[in-house]
Amino acid sequence: MENQYFEIVGVCRIDNDWKPFRKVVTAANENLAKERVFTDLGSKHHLKRNYITIESVNVVAGE
């Protein structure tokens, strides 16, 4: 299966405040794209999954 570009929009809790984020990732499907965002944000900002809320996932064409 070929990788697609996904735009993930949501909020994450950083310093007791919910801050919006928008990320574009490559993945084979939507579930793997969500996992990539959880992994990236969790490792970069030391967040648990319950501090990351994904609001929308959209396929981005032509990037």
Q: What is the pLDDT of residues 40-58, one digit of tens each?
A: 999 999 999 999 999 999 9
Burial of residue 13 (CB within 10 Å: 0-12, 13-18, 19+) is middle
> What pLDDT was estimated at residue 61?
84
Q: Which of 58, 14, 54 is nearest to 35 (CA)?
A: 54
CB 19 within 8 A of CB 11: yes
Residue-range domains of the chain with CATH:
4-60 (3.10.20.10)
CB 56 within 8 A of CB 3: no
Q: Provide the whole-model pTM.
A: 0.88
